Amino acid sequence: MVAPFDATEFRRTLGYLPTGVTVITSTGEFGEPVGMACNSFMSVSLNPPLVMFCAGKASATLVDFRRSGRFCVNILGGDQGELCRQFSIKDIDRFAGVPWTDSPVGPELGGAVAWMSCVIEVEHDAGDHVIIIARVTALRVNPDEPAPLVFHRGKFGSFYESVEPLSAVAALPRQTVGGSRRVPPAAPGAYGYAQGYAYGYAHG
């Protein structure tokens, strides 16, 4: 039998999966910039180019996304944790002090890793959230190639590429059934998660 769990335990467990962080932006009813922090963004299809993200049904920003039918995905850089936190707080001017430029689909935030222009194709009901699937119509990458922002267990960090093979950084062997030990194979260009945490956040 599976042990019962509540929403808090469910959320805490999901927090063990590191994710990238984005700010989804669009324009409001009167042309004002709107946006929200989101770590549920992911790719769906290469052909056609489709992406998706989840938004809470109680999110006021969701109304603007639906009305506009389009949005900009701002993939945040490793030094933009405070900006992400700002875009997760309700009832404030989330764009206060934030450098951005206008685009046909929504604001492009300065310093982001990359930007994607998207047009909503379909929406699916998903419990207390909705899944929005959109077609990518344009994209642009920051030529400075900043490190990405990573969210893990309620905190922020970044990502780095190891300069040495995995075997050279003393990968620990794994214990197997029967007491034998299995050593992970070496992998050139191994990747690691660089800790440097700041804040947690909830999108909406």
Q: Which residue has the tokens 């700041």?
A: 198
**Which CATH superfamily, name and number, covers 9-161?**
Electron Transport, Fmn-binding Protein; Chain A (2.30.110.10)
List, as one string, the DSSP characters of 55-119: EETT-HHHHHHHHH-EEEEEEPBTT-HHHHHHTT-SSS-TTTT--EE--SSSPEETT-SEEEEEE
76-129 pLDDT, tens per residue? 999 999 999 999 999 999 999 999 999 999 999 999 999 999 999 999 999 999
For residue 14, the surrounding DSSP H or E stretch is: helix 7-14
What is the spatial distance between Cα 106 and Cα 116, in angstroms, rounded to a whole number? Answer: 10
64-78 pLDDT, tens per residue? 999 999 999 999 999
Q: What is the pTM of this model?
A: 0.78
Mean pLDDT of the chain: 83
139-168 pLDDT, tens per residue? 999 999 999 999 888 888 887 776 766 554
The reported pLDDT for the residue numbered 84 is 96
For residue 7, the surrounding DSSP H or E stretch is: helix 7-14
Token output for 194: 């660089």
What is the spatial distance between Cα 87 and Cα 147, in angstroms, rounded to a whole number? Answer: 20
Q: Which residue has the tokens 């590429």?
A: 161
Q: Please state the φ and ψ torsions of residue 66, each to the nearest 5 degrees.
A: -65, -40
The reported pLDDT for the residue numbered 111 is 96
Q: pLDDT tier at 183 (50, 70, 90 boundaries)?
A: very low
What secondary structure, in 3-state letters, does 105-129 show? Answer: CCCEECCCCEEEEEEEEEEEEECCE
Annotated domain spans of the chain: 9-161
